[in-house]
Amino acid sequence: MPCRPVPVYCLTMIRLSGIGKVFGSLTALHELDLDLLQGRTTALLGPSGCGKSTILRIILGLIEPEQGRVEVDGTRVTAATAPGLRRRMGTVIQSGGLFPHLTGRENVTLLPRHLRLDPQRIESRLQELLGLTRLPPSLLDRYPHEVSGGQAQRLALMRALMLDPDILLLDEPLAALDPLVRAELRDDLGTIFRKLGKTVVLVTHDLVEAVELGDTIVLMREGRVVQEGGLKDLRAHPSDPFVTRFLGAWRGLE
């Protein structure tokens, strides 16, 4: 149900072509091609070590691939362009990545304060995002160790959305949460994604998350894309026995 059909007018927001990445003797990505569409949520799904987090890092320009090129909204990602492009991408990682020495407010407003944006604008954006992420305002004055795991992830999401980026990158945002909190935040994330209509890249090893949140699922294994498409496509026309096996694990939950 959550998988909407791909509209024909969709533009490519992020394009990876022929990306190869090697860590020592381990090849993390094998000449990988991937188009991520504007305004849609793409779930990079696969077992751990399949290279899905590496893709996020390459999109952010945190690591450089040995081969291939990455374009974000038509601009090639290089050491020179990456810092500017990062301002157009919001990132949330597994444990939030909130800085423990800063309060929630300081964490969330770090970047706009660094850019010397108008404090009133920052404040109104803050209120807006509190509503969106359903966080009580009192949380902003707490330090990260004083909030729960789910709240920390909501704060991290606020921080990622602060400058209203075009792209949202989430690396296992729910993995460290206990099941109840995870389900609740997953639903909220789905609502938020639909409301904002941003280009979202979600890295996960959890099929439920990928199906619930992703418009498109990109199933990966050992640095290669095995198959991409909606859940129905994957089910109906598995390109590989691995797809069937991976989806099979979820069948029991239906």
Partner 1 sequence: MSIRYPATAMLLASLLSSCGGSRSTDLRPEVRIGSKKFTESVVLGEALTSLAASAGARAIHRRELGGTRILFDALVRGDIDAYPEYTGTLRLEILHEGGPRNDEEVSRELARRGLAASRPLGFRNDYALGMTRQRAQEVSVSSISDLARHPDLELGLTSEFLDREDGWPGLARRYGLPHQGVRGLDHDLALRGLITGDLDVIDLYTTDAEIREYDLALLEDDRGYFETYEAVILYRLDLARRSPEALAALLSLEGLIDEPTMVRMNAEAKIEGRSEAEVAARFLGEKLDIVSEPPASDALSRLLRHTGEHLVLVSLSLALAIVVALPLGVFAARRPRTGQVVLGVTGVLQTIPSLALLVFMIPLLGIGSAPAIAALFFYSLLPIVRNTCSGLRDIPGPLLESAEALGLPHRFRLLRIELPLAARSILAGIKTAAVINVGTATLGALVGAGGLGQPILTGIRRNDVGTILLGAVPAALLALLVQGLFELLERRLVSPGLRATRR
Q: Which is nearer to partner 1, 101 or 195 (CB)?
A: 101
Quick check: 47 binds partner 1 (CB under 8 A)?
Answer: no
Q: Is 23 in the site for partner 1 (CB under 8 A)?
A: no
- Per-residue contact string for residues 60-79; x = within reach of partner 1 by CB under 8 A: x-x-----------------
**146 interacts with partner 1 by CB under 8 A:** yes
Spell out the alpha helix ranges (H) of the chain: 52-60, 82-86, 104-108, 110-114, 119-133, 149-161, 179-196, 207-213, 231-236, 241-251
153 sits near partner 1 (criterion: CB under 8 A): no
Q: Give CA 40 to chain center in angstroms.
A: 11
**Tokens standing for residue 95:** 């444990």
Residue 97 within binding range of partner 1, rule CB under 8 A: yes
> What x-and-dash track marks residues 115-144 binding partner 1 by CB under 8 A?
----------------------------xx
Q: How many CB atoms lie within 10 A of CB 27?
A: 16
Site map 195..234 versus partner 1, x via CB under 8 A? ----------------------------------------
We find the least distance from the C-beta atom of residue 140 to partner 1, in angstroms, to be 13
How many residues belong to the site for partner 1 (CB under 8 A)?
28
> Measuring CA to CA, how many Å separate 211 from each of 65, 151, 191, 208?
29, 23, 14, 5
**Separation between Cα atoms, residue 53 and residue 58, nearest integer Å:** 9
What are the DSSP calls for 56-82, one per residue? HHHHHTSS--SEEEEEETTEEP-TTTH
Instruction: List residues bridging with 224 in a β-sheet.
Output: 221
Amino acid letter, 44: L
Q: Of 57 and 224, which CB lies nearer to partner 1 in the complex structure?
A: 57
Which residue bears the tokens 């949140």?
213
CA dist 202 and 246 (Å) reads 18
Question: Of the two residues 126 and 234, which places its CB atom closer to partner 1 in the complex?
Answer: 126
Please state the closest distance from residue 55 (CB atom) to partner 1, in A. 14
Paired with 42 in beta bridges are 201, 216
Tell me whether residue 81 or residue 239 sits nearer to partner 1 (CB atom). 81
Residue from 43, 55, 93, 243 touching partner 1 (CB under 8 A): that is 93
Q: How far apart are CA 20 and CA 51, in angstroms?
A: 11
Q: Using CB under 8 A, which of 105, 125, 159, 186 touches partner 1? A: 159
**Distance in Å, CB of 223 to partner 1, minimum:** 20
Kindly list the residues in this chain that would bind partner 1 in the complex (CB under 8 A).
Answer: 57, 60, 62, 83-84, 86-87, 89, 91, 93-95, 97-103, 110-111, 114, 143-146, 159, 169
